[in-house]
Amino acid sequence: MLINYRRHCLALLVAAGGLAMSFDAIAVAMPIDRFHLYFALIGLLHATAIAVALRVTAHWRRRLAFVAIAMALSVGAPYVGLLAVGAVPLGGDTARFVAVYVLASASGSVAYWLVTRMFWFPHLALSSVIRTLSWCVAATVLSVIAGVVGSGFGSRPDAVPGDLPTVVWWIAFSLSLWVAERQLANKPLQPTSGVGAPGHVHRIVSAARG
């Protein structure tokens, strides 16, 4: 498999802990608003967790480009949700908030999957993006529900950590990659060209008989 998932999970664990413990300090030190900083960090941290876990030898510039694009996609994802919700009238702030969250999750997962495939997994079936999309959206919805229930439907301070949606989304995305890689590794080779291809063998046999 292309990713060492034990190393990747360890990197994600460190990233989640670092995000939870040090975001406030980072926000104070950085000349950027908390909203953009947070989404830039969650893109940077997950992409870095992939980059450091790759089994292939890739130039650091390629890894750095991957991380930079992931950061940009992460920052842009909420705006996709905001623009989409702005174009469709929805009643109530709660419904609009959930819709923005879900649409940002969906658009972010698809864009990030495409970039990840382009950089590292060119042989992944395009259909596997559906799994990534559905799992990431499900993770977002479940984390929102957990937040609502944890706060007693708004009656008390939120008992669910604010970083939970991010961490659960990370897990869903990485798990979908792991499943896709497992399926690719277990798929039997089907030669389509060259000496081993069935059509080539058929032509050789036909010529011999002729």
3-state DSSP percent of the chain in helix, strand and coil, to 5: 75, 0, 25
Measured in whole angstroms, how far is the alpha carbon of residue 148 from the centre of its chain? 24
Choose among 133, 99, 125: nearest CA to 181: 125
User: What pLDDT does 8 receive?
Assistant: 97
Distance CA 58, CA 140 (A): 32
pTM: 0.81
User: What pLDDT does 105 receive?
Assistant: 93
Domain ranges of the chain: 5-189
- The answer to whether residues 117 and 124 touch, using CB atoms and an 8 Å cutoff, is yes
Choose among 36, 38, 76, 49: nearest CA to 173: 49
Distance CA 117, CA 35 (A): 27
User: What pLDDT does 152 receive?
Assistant: 61
User: Look-up: residue for tokens 């498999």?
Assistant: 1
User: What pLDDT does 154 receive?
Assistant: 58
Distance CA 32, CA 35 (A): 8
How far are the Cα atoms of 28, 44, 66, 103, 127 from residue 114, in angstroms, in the given order?
33, 16, 11, 17, 11
Mean pLDDT of residues grouped by 10 in the chain (210 residues)?
94 90 76 84 95 88 96 94 75 76 93 96 90 96 81 54 84 96 76 43 34
In DSSP notation, 104-160 reads HHHHHHHHHHHHHHHHH-TTS-TTHHHHHHHHHHHHHHHHHHHHHHHTTTTTS---S
User: What pLDDT does 207 receive?
Assistant: 33
- The answer to whether residues 85 and 100 touch, using CB atoms and an 8 Å cutoff, is yes
User: What pLDDT does 167 receive?
Assistant: 92
